[in-house]
């Protein structure tokens, strides 16, 4: 059995695990992500790898990084939500850990994990969408991870939906991420609460009267309890997501669309309106096979498992 370490670096947390050949997690750990300090973030990753490797003989390290990863699978060219610009992440982590390191975009890693061991294992053409702090994507075409000519394919969160629309973390306006991410969900809800919208009374009460305390998990819990305002926020989020997915399906023609990420874990609160909007906006509907939208099976572990598997190859 070959054990590899997978690390999933996001804007708010770093999660890791030791994974065997069958995609089984043998050990797990996590720490906070010092996203504004690239050097501190690398040290945090190295410390987590050291903790995970104490009881396991690690063959390699796979890293899923929230950013544009170059074709060398080592350099992070740009990250909208993390302080990386042309960062030699793979080389730095190899020096800090003593392991062979493969760096991949975090959503690509999650897509690979779901394709090999999760919701897409029965198809050859899969689109993975991760809905969390941002919106990420990973494309499997003919059983291969599509990376593009420069390594930065599948940044679907920056598909432009609304000309001159909301500003995105990437600096542009109107991106899918600015409308269909957890950040967008919280931004809209806080604005409504701060404006005194009577419909927000239940959410404001849960937040202790402080609009700044309205978070994604709080909105998810409220929606699951039937709070109408919170449900409506997920409906709006889902409809934006479905619109983006319909445009992507016209280009990629996936057999399956797998939705994961922290906000994706809200299940049908998000996916029911997304499926409805996807159908409404899909070109040629009723005259073409229609991709099935599935919930990710590996949950928050998809990126860890995928990164570890890519490092094994």
Residue-wise pLDDT tens for the chain (313 aa)?
A: 789 999 999 777 899 999 999 999 999 999 998 888 888 999 999 999 999 999 999 999 999 998 899 999 999 998 877 888 999 999 999 999 999 999 999 889 999 999 999 999 999 999 999 998 889 899 999 999 999 999 999 999 999 999 999 999 889 999 999 999 999 999 999 999 999 999 999 999 999 999 999 999 999 999 999 999 999 999 999 999 999 999 999 999 999 999 998 898 899 999 999 999 999 999 999 899 999 999 999 988 999 999 999 999 7
4, 26 contact by CB (below 8 A): no
My answer on whether 143 and 281 are in the same domain is yes
If asked whether residues 152 and 77 sit together in one domain, one would say no
Are residues 188 and 102 part of one domain?
A: no
What is the span of the domain harbouring residue 25? 3-112+301-312
Q: What is the CATH number of the domain that holds 70?
A: 3.30.420.40
Over residues 23-80, the pLDDT tens digits come to: 999 999 999 988 888 889 999 999 999 999 999 999 999 999 988 999 999 999 988 7
Same domain, 279 and 308: no
Shortest CA distance to 140 belongs to which of 118, 170, 159, 157? 118
Residue 118, in any domain of the structure: no
Q: 158 and 250: one domain?
A: yes
Domain-located, residue 100:
yes
As for how many domains the chain has, the answer is: 2
Verify that 65 and 148 share a domain, yes or no: no
148 and 85 in a common domain: no
Sheet harboring 144-145: ordered strands across?
A: 144-145, 135-141, 126-131, 256-260, 292-295
Residue showing tokens 């890791």? 16
Quick one: 137 and 220 in the same domain? Answer: yes
Residue 74 domain-assigned? Answer: yes
Contact 136, 186 (CB under 8 A): no
Same domain as 145, residue 66: no
Q: Render pLDDT for 199-232 as a digit per residue (tens, 0 to 9).
A: 999 999 999 999 999 999 999 999 999 999 999 9
């Amino acid at each position: 059995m070959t054990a590899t370490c997978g690390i999933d670096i996001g804007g708010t947390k770093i999660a890791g695990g030791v994974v065997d050949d069958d995609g089984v997690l043998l050990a797990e750990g996590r720490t906070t992500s010092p996203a504004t300090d690239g050097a501190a973030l690398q040290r945090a990753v190295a410390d987590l790898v050291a903790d995970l490797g104490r009881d396991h003989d690690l063959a390699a390290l796979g890293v899923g990084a929230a950013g544009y990863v170059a074709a060398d699978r080592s350099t992070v060219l740009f990250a909208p939500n993390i302080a990386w610009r042309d960062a030699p992440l793979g080389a730095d982590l190899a020096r800090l850990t003593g392991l062979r390191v493969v760096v991949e975009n975090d959503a690509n890693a999650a897509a690979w994990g779901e394709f090999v061991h999760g919701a897409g294992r029965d198809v050859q053409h899969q689109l993975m969408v991760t809905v969390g702090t941002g919106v990420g994507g990973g494309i499997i075409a003919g059983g291969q991870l599509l990376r593009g000519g420069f390594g930065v394919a599948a940044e679907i969160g920056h598909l432009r939906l609304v000309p001159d629309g909301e500003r995105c973390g990437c600096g542009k306006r109107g991106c899918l991420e600015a409308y269909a991410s957890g950040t967008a969900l919280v931004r809209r809800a806080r604005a409504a609460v701060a404006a005194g919208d009577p419909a927000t009374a239940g959410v404001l009460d849960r937040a202790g009267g402080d609009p700044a305390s309205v978070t994604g998990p709080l909105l998810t819990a409220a929606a699951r309890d039937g709070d109408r305002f919170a449900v409506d926020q997920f409906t709006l989020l889902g409809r934006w997501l479905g619109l983006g997915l319909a445009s992507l399906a016209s280009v990629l023609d996936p057999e399956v669309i797998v939705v994961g990420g922290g906000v994706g874990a809200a299940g049908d609160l998000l996916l029911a309106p997304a499926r409805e909007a996807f159908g409404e906006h899909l070109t040629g509907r009723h005259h073409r096979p229609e991709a099935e939208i599935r919930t990710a099976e590996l949950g928050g572990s998809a990126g860890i498992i995928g990164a570890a598997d890519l490092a094994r190859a």
